[in-house]
Structure 1
């Protein structure tokens, strides 16, 4: 399968990183006059703009420049029934995805974003897409024995986290001193920092760590045993503008169909997802959003 983080993709990724730091960059698909940022317009044109952060295996560019990953491929299957067949990727730094959504730069975000109350205050989420645990990317053998955030205080280590990700808050909550936390803007930077020994390890999602190791054999790195950041796995979903009620409802209909038919699992398996990533049926977006 084509990858977005193996050695051949790094040069393209590096070039894009600088542009994304200052805003969003349209990367693939039809021109701006053809791509749409609303559900209704996309049904007429067949093409829709989608925000993503180039983080595999959730949403990334493969070696040909095609937008792929768990979220874009699920979205393609959902939207096909509504006459929308082309996704035009708009790259943004992860922490800029919701601001870009609110600014109308794309119709929705396909980046595996976790549902939480702070994000629900700024965006709308459909039904849960997947669930996942966390893990540390560490040197083989994990000589410092870092398997939880609670293992870090008192040890001479630096731990990288993705800027805008949930790991930073959990690290601080677990008592990790700020001077031991290094925030980096993208997945490439996180992986390279661990591989090159500039940090001891990186807190990331279990599926992300597994993907990076698969795409970079011989890196000298390993994945710790999965663990929960809170009391339950993280729940990821697509992200829509607040007020996009019709679009969210239509997307929910299509996503439920994929899950009930088993098609969802077939789509996501090439990206390292399995039955264990299916959210429990009793977990709802309303519960995860709380009072937001």
Structure 2
């Protein structure tokens, strides 16, 4: 059953290293670029000619981050496999604040976002998403023992407690959409700040994806917190399925089509799961047939 497979997604610690970093290689200088003008060839051909492509990340574990001077994470590693199949051997990454990724993409700072970004109608208006990369449920990070018994957004609204969310995420939109009072929603720049808000008891709970929060606790075992069971939020009677994808400029259809073809091959062959398992992904995160980019963009 499709709903049984809707499990895990978004996270943690902003990396200390920013700029542009080659996957598996040293950091290189980051600079602003412009979207190539018409007549210079399509995005795919330009990348093939250069033998490299730039992607945007947000420094979020496990989706796309820098560790020991190298860029890694679920999305960059999947992207690396796709581009290798396309004959593009080098993938570089530039770290940008999550909420600025699409803007930076459209400004030409990189050619694709590889940051585990949820596919949402408002985002689809400004950019083009790949086929769905993975699905994951939402979860809450609560005090150990969960003394107030808050396991989802409805519980939170009913009990009038305060929630911490990361600015620009699905969880922020859901909290607002279910009618939680504005003064009960605290926004933070990233998971580290969210974690601090909870450990200092500025908010009762925090919301992100199940996979993100579990990894957050693994990296902060002394935090007196626990993760609730994952769930699919409902707003106005509609399930808010957390499904992530890669993001491209609207004009780069040639690149998107080629990327989608190779990504689907990885998914169908089982190679996608081999690549993503080290980052906490499981068969439960594989994409059900009824979850598509087209449906998610329509809302």
* TM-score category, normalised to shorter length: 0.7 to 0.9
Partner of 1:26: 20
Partner of 1:48: 53
What TM-score, normalized by structure 2, do the two folds share? 0.84
1:38-77 matches, cutoff 5 A: 38-62=43-67, 64-77=68-81
Unaligned runs of 5+ in 2: 1-10, 36-42
- Paired residues in the alignment total 273
For each residue in 1:114-152, what CA deviation from the matched residue of structure 2 results, as whole angstroms up to 9, or x when unmatched?
Answer: 112111111001111000100001111111211111122
SS of 1:150's equivalent?
A: helix
Q: Say if 1:30 and 1:47, in contact at 8 Å, map to a contact too.
A: no
The root-mean-square deviation of aligned C-alpha atoms, in Å, is 2.3
Residue 253 (1) aligns with residue 261 (2)? yes
* Cα 1:106/1:181, change in 2 over 3 Å: same
Distance in 2 of aligned mates of 1:87 and 1:160: 34
SS of 2:278's equivalent?
A: helix
Greater relative contact order (CA < 8 Å, ≥ 6 in sequence)? 2
Partner of 2:251: 243
Partner of 1:143: 147
Unaligned runs of 5+ in 1: 17-24
Q: Say if 2:20 and 2:28, in contact at 8 Å, map to a contact too.
A: no
SS of 2:55's equivalent?
A: strand
Q: Say if 1:184 and 1:190, in contact at 8 Å, map to a contact too.
A: yes
Q: Say if 1:126 and 1:252, in contact at 8 Å, map to a contact too.
A: yes
Q: Say if 1:101 and 1:240, in contact at 8 Å, map to a contact too.
A: yes
Q: Say if 1:36 and 1:42, in contact at 8 Å, map to a contact too.
A: no
For each residue in 1:152-190, what CA deviation from the matched residue of structure 2 results, as whole angstroms up to 9, or x when unmatched?
Answer: 235463211110001112112222111111001112111
What TM-score, normalized by structure 1, do the two folds share? 0.86
SS of 1:164's equivalent?
A: coil
Distance in 1 of aligned mates of 2:223 and 2:249: 39
Q: Say if 1:50 and 1:110, in contact at 8 Å, map to a contact too.
A: yes
Partner of 1:19: none
For each residue in 1:61-104, what CA deviation from the matched residue of structure 2 results, as whole angstroms up to 9, or x when unmatched?
Answer: 11x12111110000001000122222222111111011111111
Residue 266 (1) aligns with residue 266 (2)? no
Q: Say if 2:166 and 2:190, in contact at 8 Å, map to a contact too.
A: yes
1:179-198 matches, cutoff 5 A: 179-198=183-202
